[in-house]
Amino acid sequence: MTESAGRVPERFADVYGGYVRALEEAAGLDTATRRAYDSRIRSYLVFLESAAIDGPDPLADPDGRDRAAQAYLGYLARRRLAASTVNAHLTALDHFYAHLGLGPARVGRRQSPQRPPRTLDAEQQTRYQLAAGQRPQARDRAIFLLLLHSGVRPSELVALDVGDVCLSAGECVVIVRNGDPRTIPLTDGPAQEAITQWRAERSGWPGASATTALFLNRFGERLSTRAVRKLLAALADEAELTGEDGRPSASAQTLRATFGANQLGDGETLTVTHLVTVAGLLGHTRLDTTLRLAASSASGSQ
Q: Are residues 197 and 130 in the same domain?
A: yes
CATH code (residue 15): 1.10.150
Q: Are residues 149 and 212 in the same domain?
A: yes
Assigned domain for 60 exists: yes
Longest dimension (CA), the chain: 77
Q: Are residues 157 and 198 in the same domain?
A: yes
Q: Are residues 45 and 129 in the same domain?
A: no
CA dihedral sign, ordered 287, 289, 294, 297? negative
Q: Which of 148, 123, 139, 159 is nearest to 259 (CA)?
A: 148
pLDDT tens-place string over residues 52-109: 788 899 999 999 999 999 999 888 888 888 777 888 898 899 999 999 999 988 887 7
Number of domains forming the structure of the chain: 2
User: What's residue 246's pLDDT?
Assistant: 59
Q: Are residues 226 and 155 in the same domain?
A: yes
User: What's residue 106's pLDDT?
Assistant: 87
Assigned domain for 276 exists: no
User: What's residue 245's pLDDT?
Assistant: 60
CATH code (residue 141): 1.10.443.10
User: What's residue 179's pLDDT?
Assistant: 75
Q: Are residues 138 and 216 in the same domain?
A: yes
Assigned domain for 199 exists: yes
Q: Are residues 50 and 86 in the same domain?
A: yes
**Mean pLDDT by groups of 10 residues along the chain of 302 residues:** 62 94 86 90 92 88 92 86 83 92 83 73 94 95 97 95 86 87 93 94 93 95 95 91 69 94 79 88 86 67 42
Assigned domain for 115 exists: no
Assigned domain for 155 exists: yes
Backbone phi, then psi, for 206, in 5-degree steps? -60, 135
- Domain interval for residue 67: 10-100
